[in-house]
A and B are shown apart, each in its own frame.
Chain A
Amino acid sequence: MFFTTPSGMTRRHFMRHLAGASALTGSALAMGQTLCVHANELKRRNKAAILLWMNGGPSTMDLWDLKPGAATGGPFRPIATTGDMQISEHLPMMATQMDKMSIVRSMSTREADHARGRYYMHTGYVPNPNIIHPSYGSVISHQLMAHRNDLEIPPFIAIGGASEGPGFLGMAWAPFSVDANGQVRNLSMNVEAARMSERIQALSRLETNFINDNRGSAAVEHAKVIQKTLNLMTSRQMEAFRVEREPAEVQDRYGRNNFGRGCLMARRLVEIGVPFVEVTLGGWDNHQNIFPTLQNNLLPTLDRGMSALIEDLYQRGMLQDTAVIWMGEFGRTPRINGDAGRDHWARSWSVVVGGAGMKPGVAIGATNDDGTAVEGPTYSSEDLMATICRSLGISLETTFTSNDGRPMKIANSGKVIKDLLA
């Protein structure tokens, strides 16, 4: 009754069967989401997003919005790029790719605490004790997954970092975290498949009985995650995690470090249909000795990995469908502190975006001469998220129902950044 052995079925038939089963579970428990989808389905079929998450809060005025000569400017010089803007001299490889990317220099947010900033930039909402909002990866993979019937591995993969969770969308949309070596622990079944399926069938009975006791949604979520685990364990798509299968020169181009491998893995994952990948590069919380740390360590790593990713996506014709977002939880103080570092600063900072049809090669917005304030209109996490969603063909009218019954607009009703999307 609970378990069907799909031997002899075509794969397509089998997947349809699965989809039907999970839909039933979902609707009856009112877990979820009212979807108001009226978007161009074709447009979304190949769409994906890669978030390069700079954990700790990068000093964007030393990377993307330099202030040479200002007291706050620091030692770095700007250099010309292939786009219509200048960037830091320590990002020379990115300088050759800026015709494909754009900088938003007028981000202005209010959360200058790591945990709060991370949450806000990942969800478009400020933290609220009574509701947990879904993060970028959960929202976007949830929206794009309907078009990925062949995807057997999780649609939201976080490489080298924890990302943020699925909130009220449920654990089935949680990030699947792997390290940059792509090693997934405990993948080997140890028993033959037929025996495993007998175990699973029996397990399904136990799980179902416990769920029927009406003890709460966590029990239901556990069952869904088991199904996802089974899909993954038996999938050949796990091959995508094996970056060492790439030619040596490709691995060299991306950089033989965790971030480089993560970027390369991201491309491989998007290639097989994963709609959302997040790659973390940490170490940006530079309260001390910021300039040597950036120059000798962080910027070379970032420059190589990020430029390789963009170039590679472009050359494979994938960039037109793949949104790339570079950001951290906030920027850093224009004022250089007594330890030759910069502290947390959310009032005026930059993010870098591109791909998926967003206008390339431009710098949007501006900060004042010493970088302490935005001049002209400012943009928020919500605005950025709305822009990314739109670029992926996701309707901004999409509304979720949070678990307390409130309707929640996707991207918290942010406004599309017009200069990025015509």
Chain B
Amino acid sequence: MEKSVWGASTATPLRCRLTFALLSAAVLALAYVGGISNSSAVYSQDIAQSSSSDIPRQVTKINELVEQVWRDFNLQPSSPASDYEWCRRVYLDVIGRIPTIAEIDAFIGSKSPDKRVELVSRLLYSDEYTEEFARNWATIWSNLLIGRTGGTANNSMISRAGMSKYLRDSFARNKSYDRMVHELITASGYAQPGAEGFNGAVNFLIDKVNDDGAAQATAAVSRLFLGLQVQCTQCHNHPFNDWKQQKYWEFNAFFRQVRAFRGATDMASAQLVDQDFRGESGNADEADLFYELRNGLLKVAYPVFVDGTEISKSGYVNAVNRRQELSQLITASPYFDKAAVNRVWEHFLGYGFTKPVDDLGPHNAPSNSALLQYLADEFRDSGYNLRQLYSWIILSRPYALSSKKTKNNETDDPLLGASPKFSHFYLRQMRAEELYESLMVASGAGANQGSYEQQEEQRNRWLQQFVTAFGTDEGDESTTFNGTIPQVLMMFNGEMIQAAVSDQAGTLLYETINKSQWTVPQKVDRLFLAGLSRPATREEKNLAQQLIQARRGDLREGLKDLWWVILNSNEFIFNH
């Protein structure tokens, strides 16, 4: 029976048969007691002692500094995650999707004592994964730099494709982080790929410099690259720290030599241009700006960096390019290193050392300042090599812990307001993009369909259903993706799921159903591996049998139901 969208024509009370009661879940949860005493030994066996020469020394130091916190707070870490769990995590976090069955089989089947190190190095450095690696990090950084809605409105100067292309190239080449930031801050040129003079990096600032004296550029650059939140000080002194209104406008003054121009006829010629700043008093040799204090008085400001470093007051680009100066000051700042590693740590471990991750102001002390400082120093010494930083964190002990909490670390829960101690892996939802790519891989639906750009566009269209822009001068937006009814509806009934549970030729389900040499339990295992990156338990195999029986023994239909169940489970949608 087809249920109409509004249920208007459906007479029977369907809903009475659909209930979903998780009865004793919680009660059983309380009875869980984890064995953890030898977890350190197991970890060591997995990684550290297997081939100490391949383990970067930074990994050892990270472990020491995290373990110190566990001792200080009398926490016992959870057991190590299984190879299956760890493998799934690494694929998700490094290339933005869950592993395929073949990839899991290869990892689990490997007898190499260094197999974790080898997997990390393959994902980070082998040509096989360059494209997916670059796509994942370009997505993450696009969302940071222009948001999920940037460039999606008809009249936007931002070219999403241009931003993405620039970032993809940068990550594929392992451009150093300071170089990338320098390019983003100082870029000029055309926004759209294909235009002569194209420079995709301009898309970061192109919609942030024209309005309200470049307020958005000021706020975004200081927040993203220094971890300093200045937006409140535009109008008044900061309530929590010593940021003064004066500092905001001095920082803002660096963005007064840049202007975005729309194309005369279309967006294809939108560009970001350096131009002389004549000052608000009209004297370009001492190009000033004025801002209003809350008592109505006007004050003057010239470019001064947050640490007090002054640059020339000239507004002539030939005399001094204020963005170039700013970029050098930012990449030399100690805040720059810390802001970068804090964000990367958050990416892999779920939380940074500060909440929010991009607020490193003096009022907001980091939870493990020794580790933050250590990582910042090492990152700088590495020449801002992002892949090295990733590998240190991925190979560290906290990243390899199970997400199952024990009675000896249950208090370590940032959702309860505590600062994160990383004594177990924190459960988190896949990002929308991760879910999309994972569904593509797991279902075999839509693999290699269309060009890269077409795939990107398809994905962006899908994502837009979960994003709302607030339409204010802060360019802020909100996602309804995380754990809401629309998300569940999408997973229940959406097109991607329908395609995945159809048995069209080419889908994973089709292959599984039609592989005649596999037994039913083997087929069930394949589906669990594809969706949850682990084989089915005995109970789950029984469950699969029940589903098949409910379809009167029709294996094909029963496996469709099972596949639907797997893709809708919490275990699928969480990075765990």
Please name all residues of chain B whose beta carbon is closer than 8 Å to the beta carbon of A115 when the two chains form the complex. 474, 476
Pick from B15, B483, B546: contact of A234, CB below 8 A: B15
Task: Knowing A6-B17, A214-B29, A233-B492, say if A225 contacts B484 (CB, 8 Å).
Answer: yes
A235 within 8 A of B: yes
Distance in Å: Cβ of B59 to nearest Cβ of chain A: 25
Pick from B235, B476, B494, B565: contact of A344, CB below 8 A: B235
Please name all residues of chain A whose beta carbon is closer than 8 Å to the beta carbon of B471 when the two chains form the complex. 55-56, 282-283, 285
- Contacting pair A193 B14 (CB below 8 A): yes
Q: How far is the CA of A16 from the CA of B417 in the complex (A)?
A: 34
Binds B, one of A82-90, A202-210, A246-254: A202-210
Pick from A152, A216, A230, A402: contact of B19, CB below 8 A: A230
Please name all residues of chain B whose beta carbon is closer than 8 Å to the beta carbon of A21 when the two chains form the complex. 19, 21-23
- Beyond the given pairs A202-B562, A203-B565, 13 more chain A to chain B contacts, judged by CB atoms under 8 angstroms and listed by A's residue number, are A2-B22, A55-B470, A57-B472, A114-B472, A115-B476, A184-B489, A186-B486, A186-B492, A193-B18, A199-B565, A204-B20, A211-B570, A232-B485
Chain B, interface size: which category?
Answer: 35 or more
- Contacting pair A222 B570 (CB below 8 A): yes
- Contacting pair B22 A186 (CB below 8 A): no
Binds B, one of A43-51, A141-149, A169-177, A269-277: A169-177
Q: What is B's interface to A at a CB cutoff of 8 Å?
A: 1-8, 12-30, 32, 211-212, 231-232, 235-236, 239, 292, 296, 354-356, 359, 364, 403-406, 410, 413, 415-418, 426-429, 465, 468, 470-474, 476, 478, 480, 482-490, 492-494, 498, 539-540, 543, 546-547, 550-551, 561-562, 564-566, 568-571, 573-574, 576
- Contacting pair A18 B19 (CB below 8 A): yes
Task: Knowing A202-B565, A203-B20, say if A131 contacts B417 (CB, 8 Å).
Answer: yes
A315 within 8 A of B: no
Pick from A162, A195, A208: contact of B561, CB below 8 A: A195
Distance in Å: Cβ of A4 to nearest Cβ of chain B: 6
Please name all residues of chain A whose beta carbon is closer than 8 Å to the beta carbon of B235 when the two chains form the complex. 112, 343-344
A422 within 8 A of B: no
Q: Is the interface of B mostly helix, strand, loop or mixed?
A: loop
Q: What is A's interface to B at a CB cutoff of 8 Å?
A: 1-7, 9, 11, 14, 17-18, 21-22, 24-25, 28-29, 55-57, 110, 112-116, 118, 129-131, 152, 154, 161-162, 171, 174, 176-177, 184-190, 192-200, 202-223, 225-236, 238-239, 241-242, 282-283, 285, 287, 335, 343-344, 402-406
Please name all residues of chain A whose beta carbon is closer than 8 Å to the beta carbon of B25 when the two chains form the complex. 25, 207-208, 211-212, 220, 223
Please name all residues of chain B whose beta carbon is closer than 8 Å to the beta carbon of A5 when the two chains form the complex. 17
Please name all residues of chain B whose beta carbon is closer than 8 Å to the beta carbon of A152 when the two chains form the complex. 15
B236 nearest CB neighbor, chain A only: A112
Task: Knowing A129-B356, A211-B22, A223-B22, say if A239 contacts B8 (CB, 8 Å).
Answer: yes
- Contacting pair A215 B565 (CB below 8 A): no
- Contacting pair A218 B428 (CB below 8 A): yes
Pick from B7, B8, B19, B355: contact of A130, CB below 8 A: B355
- Contacting pair B13 A211 (CB below 8 A): no
Please name all residues of chain A whose beta carbon is closer than 8 Å to the beta carbon of B21 when the two chains form the complex. 2-4, 17-18, 21-22, 204, 227
B407 nearest CB neighbor, chain A only: A214
A152 nearest CB neighbor, chain B only: B15
- Contacting pair B427 A215 (CB below 8 A): yes
- Contacting pair B485 A193 (CB below 8 A): no
Please name all residues of chain A whose beta carbon is closer than 8 Å to the beta carbon of B236 when the two chains form the complex. 112
Distance in Å: Cβ of A188 to nearest Cβ of chain B: 6
A345 nearest CB neighbor, chain B only: B235
- Contacting pair A225 B478 (CB below 8 A): no
Pick from B232, B484, B565: contact of A116, CB below 8 A: B232
- Contacting pair A225 B485 (CB below 8 A): yes
Distance in Å: Cβ of B8 to nearest Cβ of chain A: 6
